[in-house]
Structure 1
């Protein structure tokens, strides 16, 4: 009996695999036929012939709907004209994304009112034809002002459909108070409100209650008070993802401990924000960009990944080294960007005991401060006993530090008392001939006993958009930095190549002989 049962099971599995293969092959055939029919319809229409309709392959209705749901809104509308099955599926399309691109509306100078009128007509037409079944995503992304009455009527439909994802993104150039998001349509009464993802941009938002199912909240250019935001957050216990950007009315952000599921927090360019108080125990990722603020994290907060970009104030790295070990003691991945450092890294009093990945970005306006000592970063590396990856990115148009080539007889500083036993990969992007930077590279080679790879990038190739390499052209680099890159190559040959251990791979990126030759 056991053998018989095993044979029957294997037979069913073979039949199942065969059926799956048939379905996949049939889907590929359907896609091919649909494309041919679309091309045929377009050709026949251009010739003035009668439209030919495609009846579709013999597939169950739910498979047709699934295939159709994978298409963007505009493509879904196009194929609906060649298949009765797709026409029925079009009326039940689960993702209603009304953007200018999806609706085929191009920007016309001085005629934004015409575009707005066409947009409202198309959106109204689609919503009237839709069956109202199975809608999960509802997105309105506009680039021009639209009558609030239309917006309210569309959101009334979204509320009745009980959508799971709702996005209303209005032009950031408009006053956020021009449109008040109708919170009353989505009152959390346990019946109408099923929103899990909410994204609002360019409007006023004055919630008086929470969203019981809300897991992801994104607010951009939104006018909301401190008390309203606190009320919304505290009454949305399922929240997992919170992102705030360009919300100028927020001065204090308070996240209570009852948000047990919150794992991601992003705060960017909230110019008037002064304090972030977070007690969410499972917060693991924190991204911050803007003016430096006071961070009040509860002792139970378990932040593992953190990125900080302070674009207006100096000494971001210095302050991070002094304060972060006690604020986020469990940090494992840390990225810090600074536009100015006038104080060198001191001996860090408290260590980053769990930090494995560290990225430092020094983005100078013109030339990075010549008073900054790159070699002082050695004390920061010493404060990270389990560090495995270290990236240093230096962006500048001129190098004003003292070059190591200026006085060949000068000795390089050494700190043999600092050992880095776990560092495996190091990248210095924007490597130059600055004496303190060469000293840093030599120190790493001599004291990182587990080092496997050292990359010295003299042209900031890692900062260039990856797509540019598809054109066969390199990114633009000024004459001063091309000349400095050549000095850096000479410094590498003179001071670094000779001390590279046999177990370490040295990568040196230099200017392109074709793209960077004429600018020299």
Structure 2
């Protein structure tokens, strides 16, 4: 450990200066690294830099607190900030990232945002004050608990410059979040110039049965209309056959007047390691398949998944496609391009429609 610390010290001594604009501290394997050393390195690196990435071990019990005040006192010029597995607690009134244009906050397992329960809620209410000029925002959370979201949509600060918003809900712990997808509408309303909205939904939001509901009884109609004139591109990966995500799509189709492209992809993109890490920590299991076998859906459904000609991926693609076909396609305006990257073959649709009929009978 000491040798690595010395090497980093030497590197910073040789490369700091006004001409260095980008620093990446990838320290995810340094489990015994002290906060003193990290603070020392940031103190040396911060003056004049525009892009900062700090990645720390996600499984450390004591989370490093990012020194927001240090950046503020140094005359923060950071335009891009990427944080992994550390506490981010900017003191309101004492810290401001007014030059920040791109923020990437990965909650991983348990980044501290006390007293908030959820990263998304924290970002929605606090970031407009801390980073009012942010243009690109990526948030990934494994701890979202939808039951703690307020039922009444109260106005807060606005992201007046936000053009790109990407949200990822990772891990099996967020069963409660599935009932609060409409809360994400507050992000859209707070971003008047937003052009691109991407939402990643992970495995825990999946249901074993195809979606059946009456479109006349939708919670989304309880929300007042709001014209989103700038949104042009919307993408949902891990799109699942639940009523709440479908309602969110309804809202976007009805209110995004400039929408050009809607992509609904049932596949999960890019968060495999985070998903496995959350699963193994929560349940003590070794990998996702073991978690699914022990804590997944009922054995009767797993029976179909285990059979070679009913793989789980085919079943999920089928259920998602049925939901899109039954409830969404008819609502898409002719001016909007609808992309469905995964469409089951006619053979799979024929086979699984019979399985669906048997399940509904039972």
The TM-score, its normalising length taken from structure 2, stands at 0.68
Please tell me whether residue 340 in structure 1 is matched to residue 135 in structure 2.
no
- Cα RMSD of the aligned pairs, angstroms, is 3.7
Q: 1:401 to 1:340 in 2, by over 3 A?
A: farther
* SS across alignment from 2:35: coil
Q: 1:257 to 1:422 in 2, by over 3 A?
A: farther
Q: Which residue of 2 aligns with 1:351?
A: 158
Please tell me whether residue 391 in structure 1 is matched to residue 186 in structure 2.
no
Q: 1:354 to 1:449 in 2, by over 3 A?
A: same
Q: Which residue of 2 aligns with 1:242?
A: 23
Q: Is the 8 A contact 1:341 1:372 kept in 2?
A: no
Deviations 1:112-167 (A, max 9, x none): xxxxxxxxxxxxxxxxxxxxxxxxxxxxxxxxxxxxxxxxxxxxxxxxxxxxxxxx
Q: Which residue of 1 aligns with 2:89?
A: 294
Q: Which has the higher helix share?
A: 2
Q: Which residue of 1 aligns with 2:100?
A: 303
Q: Which residue of 2 aligns with 1:460?
A: 268
Q: Which residue of 2 aligns with 1:443?
A: 251
* SS across alignment from 1:369: helix
Q: Is the 8 A contact 1:403 1:435 kept in 2?
A: no
**Aligned equivalent of 1:262, options 23, 29, 49:** 49
**Aligned equivalent of 2:167, options 342, 352, 360:** 360
Alignment of 1:36-185 (within 5 A): 176-177=1-2, 179=3
Deviation at 1:292, TM superposition (A): 3.0
Q: Is the 8 A contact 1:368 1:400 kept in 2?
A: no
Q: 1:301 to 1:253 in 2, by over 3 A?
A: farther
Q: Which residue of 1 aligns with 2:229?
A: 421
Tell me the distance in 1 between the aligned counterparts of 2:210 and 2:86.
33
Q: Is the 8 A contact 2:232 2:260 kept in 1?
A: yes
Q: Is the 8 A contact 1:366 1:398 kept in 2?
A: no
Deviations 1:344-386 (A, max 9, x none): 3753510111000000001122764355411211111101110
Deviation at 1:493, TM superposition (A): 1.8
The TM-score, its normalising length taken from structure 1, stands at 0.49
